[in-house]
Amino acid sequence: MADLLIELFSEEIPARMQARAGEDLKKRMTDGLVEAGLTYAGAHALTTPRRLTLAIEGLLDHSPTVREERKGPKVGAPEKAIEGFLRGAGLSRDQLEERDTPKGAVYFATIEKPGRPAAEIIAEVLEDTIRNFPWPKSMRWGAGSLRWVRPLHSILCVLTREDGSEVVPLDIDGITSGDTTCGHRFMAPARISVTGFEDYAAKLKRAFVVLDPKEREAAIWQDATNQAFASGLEVVDDKGLLAEVAGLVEWPVVLMGSIDAEFLDLPPEVLQTSMKEHQKFFSVKNPKSGRIEKFITVANRETADNGATILAGNQKVLSARLADAKFFWENDLRIAKSEVGMEGWLESLGNVTFHNKLGTQAARIDRIAALAREIAPVVGADADLAEQAAKVAKADLSSEMVYEFPELQGLMGRYYAQAAGLPQEVANACQQHYSPLGPSDEVPTEPVSVAVALADKIDTLTGFWAIDEKPTGSKDPYALRRAALGVIRLVLENGVRVALSGVFTQGYEGADESDLLSFFHDRLKVFLRDQGIRHDVIDACIAMEGNDDLTLLVKRARALEAFMSSEDGENLLQGFKRANNILSQAEEKDGVEYSYGADKKFIEDPSEAALFDALAANEGAISSAIEAEDFAAAMGGMAALRAPVDAFFEAVQVNSDNQVVRRNRLNLLSQIRKVCGQVADLSRIEG
């Protein structure tokens, strides 16, 4: 057994590519080694800005010898067929074996592939991995043909055994493998010789390189929070930024700087976004006021002045960036507070195309405003406020701040609407109408915001349906699946009762409402499956009338799921399916429909009478419960049928020789189907 250490050392790898690259290196190497017969005990990949590292433990020293038996042509076959078989097997005629088979004598070849040393296999697999590495973007440099994300400087490839270590020989476009690497670019640039992974990791740590990205993240976060806490402040949590910054440094040195007083009154979101997007700084806020007062930057080296020069340079650049943000903010506020207000921005949106087949942003805003007015009464919103909010909700798209930072759209709309003196409900809708953006995003609950959010998403969906730009396969360039999920969550989490088919007709003209509703049902299935509701239960409820009322549909599905999970539900389902199968077969055979109801005077067995009475007693109760949308009570009525249905099938043969009795019993089965069918289409439930 041996351990393998690989390091691919290059110029800086973009932070966003590092984690995927580490996994790709691990997968391609381990898959290639196993395919060649080298199994291993464990493997893990680590990354820094300048290196991809792979450590494999418990690797076989040699691949095993493999014996393969191949069946060839018949004895006496044409000579060319035999020669072709020999070429494929790499054997001569005297190495073939003749065997008798049921179809006559046949040639067989036994091919023995001897095992190969691990180093030979590793060199082949590593060269193939490097030359065909799946970088999202790559480059060539110098005169070579090799492509890598950035110029590749060295390859470390060492096999370690109990008796020592050896370099796996490899040469790729003049880059020769070895047992050395470099430490930190500035603090320890000299080459380091290593014998294995533990030696490698320890020497890199002494050379100011933290190899594990998770360790770098933890060190950055701990040091940042400690410095902020010492000043009575706290770091704004941002896991995405933390992972990115950890991918920019090999030896993280955390520094906290101050923001000039003239910028402290900027909205905290503006400060945070500007610092994150332009400088990769963490925001540090005052927990009492919520105001961002300082920033955290992470340097890649220690300095004699403890980072004072680095911090001063960063603060100078930050001040220039924030001066721009302050200019945008003050200019936008001036416009919002003017007599023209946000209406001036709306006029400019008439020159902005939303989609070449769906018109301008201004035309879309008019559609959303009209639709929001129609939806408002359904969600309990004031129609005038909903229309007003829809008209200004996207006005900030023309603002200078959103032009600079598109991710602030909506949020800046709220600030500007407040500055313009618009009602608070309108201002809130400006920010909230984009939500929810995903399955975990917060759902608006204010009626005006809900109305505008629904109108926005439904206009998008009906518009793209009208021009036949629906999602196909995994492709969804306009995020229509996300928009549909947003509508579903808005409706369900706010208990909105509305027939979506009717709302679709008020959206963009020309959309296929039936097809769009089917799309919603598909998204609803995914949404409910994540909550533990079976797909067949959902299908059984979708088959009922009113399936465009999502709140009603989900209420029915939850009750049915609970019932089908009970013993009564499971047994009644079996009874229903048995009744439905017998009835369907009889109707097909006889060419008639048994739906006239059973007559008690033709009953022969007490179990028939008991079932007749149970159906009569519970049909009205179930019907009333369904009408009142009390699905729990309806399921209770269904549960009461379980025992008489079971008893009926145990005691009675439906297809009696007496045709009158047979017809009566089939009509009784029809009654079972009718009563149970009030709740859901149980024929769609598996089991």
Whole-angstrom Cα distance, residue 328 to residue 320? 13
Whole-angstrom Cα distance, residue 272 to residue 266? 10
Polymer length of the chain: 687
DSSP secondary structure, 243-262, as one string = HHHHTT-SS-EEEEEEPPGG
Q: What angle do CA 25, 26, 30 make, to 5 degrees?
A: 115
List residues bridging with 105 in a β-sheet: 100
**In this structure, what token pair is assigned to residue 214?**
């998770």
Residue 369 is predicted with a pLDDT of 96
Q: Are the CB atoms for 213 and 247 separated by under 8 Å? A: yes
Residue 565 is predicted with a pLDDT of 87
Residue 586 is predicted with a pLDDT of 87
Kindly give, in sequence order, each residue whose CB lies less than 8 Å from that of residue 539, ignoring residues fewer than 6 positions away: 525, 681, 684, 685
Q: Are the CB atoms for 629 and 555 separated by under 8 Å? A: yes
Three-state DSSP state, 561: helix
Q: Is the peptide bond before 436 cis (omega within 30 degrees of 0)?
A: yes
Whole-angstrom Cα distance, residue 423 to residue 392? 12
Residue 79 is predicted with a pLDDT of 83
DSSP secondary structure, 322-363, as one string = HHHHHHHHHHHHHHHHSSSTTHHHHHHGGGSEEETTTEEHHH
Whole-angstrom Cα distance, residue 627 to residue 624? 5
* CA 508 vs CA 43, 183, 286, 358, 393: distances in Å: 55, 61, 47, 9, 19
Residue 87 is predicted with a pLDDT of 84
Q: Are the CB atoms for 63 and 36 separated by under 8 Å? A: yes
Whole-angstrom Cα distance, residue 468 to residue 478? 12
Three-state DSSP state, 396: helix
Q: Are the CB atoms for 96 and 72 separated by under 8 Å? A: yes
Whole-angstrom Cα distance, residue 369 to residue 440? 27
Whole-angstrom Cα distance, residue 214 to residue 89? 50
Q: What angle do CA 279, 284, 289 make, to 5 degrees?
A: 135
Residue 484 is predicted with a pLDDT of 95
* CA 488 vs CA 178, 244, 440, 465, 482: distances in Å: 58, 33, 13, 17, 10
The whole-model pTM stands at 0.79
Residue 545 dihedral angles phi and psi, to the nearest 5°: -65, 155
Kindly give the residue spans of alpha helices, DSSP state H, lying in 467-512: 480-493, 500-505
Whole-angstrom Cα distance, residue 257 to residue 234? 13
Residue 660 is predicted with a pLDDT of 86
pLDDT, averaged across the chain: 91
Neighbours of 5 (CB within 10 A): 25
Residue 652 dihedral angles phi and psi, to the nearest 5°: -120, 140
Whole-angstrom Cα distance, residue 568 to residue 123? 64
Q: Which residues of the chain have pLDDT under 70?
A: 687
Kindly give the residue spans of alpha helices, DSSP state H, lying in 530-605: 535-542, 550-564, 567-590
Kindly give, in sequence order, each residue whose CB lies less than 8 Å from that of residue 409, ignoring residues fewer than 6 positions away: 394, 396, 397, 402, 434
Kindly give, in sequence order, each residue whose CB lies less than 8 Å from that of residue 315, ignoring residues fewer than 6 positions away: 257, 258, 260
Residue 361 is predicted with a pLDDT of 93
